[in-house]
Structure 1
Amino acid sequence: MAKKEPSKFAKFLKSVLATVLIVVASVGATLFYYERYGGGIGGLGSLAAAPVEPPPAPLPAPIFTPLEPFTVTLRTETSSRILYVAVTLRVADEESRKVITSYMPEVRDRILRRLSEQRADYVQTPEGRSALVAALTKDVEAPYTPNPRGPVVTGVLFTAFVIQ
């Protein structure tokens, strides 16, 4: 008995079934991979529903306003010492920088008055410098006539600090 050769239809049907089997296996493997390693339950649906967080906004660049150095005589009961300080102000916004620049003589006067009140032995300690920073911040942030609002100072930085 001679074997019967498959018909063209049978060959076509086998090809279609093989293709469907390959596609089903591919989809199944993809869903398995996403569920296992993609972290989502339900395969691709959870990936599509996952919220996409926008990148964080860049932080604004700091605004620094350097001041000319100050030289002040610190007097005690028995002697006098010289304080040399270079100060840079960190301000919150451009408007505050403009106020400080516009009122620079008054800013320098306020700082000089505060520096001349210091005691040399106290201002050399970390607590003394911290207190001086707080006092200078308060003095510089006070309003300048005729402005109803003073500048916003976020930091007083000593770039030079010498007592002789």
Structure 2
Amino acid sequence: MPKNESSKIGQLVKSVLSIVLIVVASIGATLFYFDRSGIALGLNTASAEVPAEQQPAAPLPNPIFEPLEPFTVTLRNERGNRILYVAVTLRVPDESSRRMIINYMPEVRDRILRDLSEQQADYIQTTEGRAALVRTLTQTLQAPYAPQPAGPVITGVLFTAFVIQ
């Protein structure tokens, strides 16, 4: 092989190696820059994402409970009268719902008393009966209170005492 051809091949190899070196250096510098600046490229998602254990948990809001004075109602049936004594606490998601319950307390208590007095003692002593009573009270209490266009949001009706005699 003549020396002229050998030097051309050598120059070509040097040029190709130079181009490869420049490309590799560019890619490395780009990855370094994006890693330092916190920009995720999506190439390696394992290093871009913070594991769930290391992420700070968002603080949960404290529950808002509004206890009501206990209720005593007479339940009538074909076998006679029975007495229901029940204490109720309402769970609400926000302060505005709590304020509405407090502001309309006479109407809240009236609605609960009416619903309780319509119950059958044998039925509300069952698990299904109590669950149905919770649903009924929730719907009744979430209905609007005049002149308000919407009622409070009730996320739970909790029985803190429940006695039938």
Fold agreement, TM-score > 0.5: yes
One-letter code of the match for 2:74?
T
Q: Could you tell me how far 1:114 is from its partner in structure 2?
A: 0.1
**Local SS of the residue matching 2:159:** strand
Structure-1 residue corresponding to 2:163: 162
Deviation by residue 1:45-99 (Cα, 9 ceiling, x = unmatched): x7xx533364121110000000000000001123000000000000111100000
Structure-2 residue corresponding to 1:69: 70
The separation in 1 between residues aligned to 2:49 and 2:82, in whole angstroms, is 64
**Local SS of the residue matching 1:153:** coil
Structure-2 residue corresponding to 1:101: 102
Write out aligned runs for 1:7-156 (5 A).
49-52=47-50, 54-156=55-157
For normalisation by structure 2, the TM-score amounts to: 0.69
**TM-align CA RMSD:** 1.7
Query: What are the ranges of 5 or more consecutive residues in structure 2 without an aligned counterpart?
Result: 1-43
Q: What is the percentage of aligned positions where both structures have the same residue?
A: 72
**Local SS of the residue matching 1:145:** coil
**Local SS of the residue matching 2:155:** strand
For normalisation by structure 1, the TM-score amounts to: 0.69
The separation in 2 between residues aligned to 1:162 and 1:128, in whole angstroms, is 14
The separation in 1 between residues aligned to 2:72 and 2:137, in whole angstroms, is 15
What is the number of residues matched between the two proteins? 119
The separation in 2 between residues aligned to 1:51 and 1:122, in whole angstroms, is 54
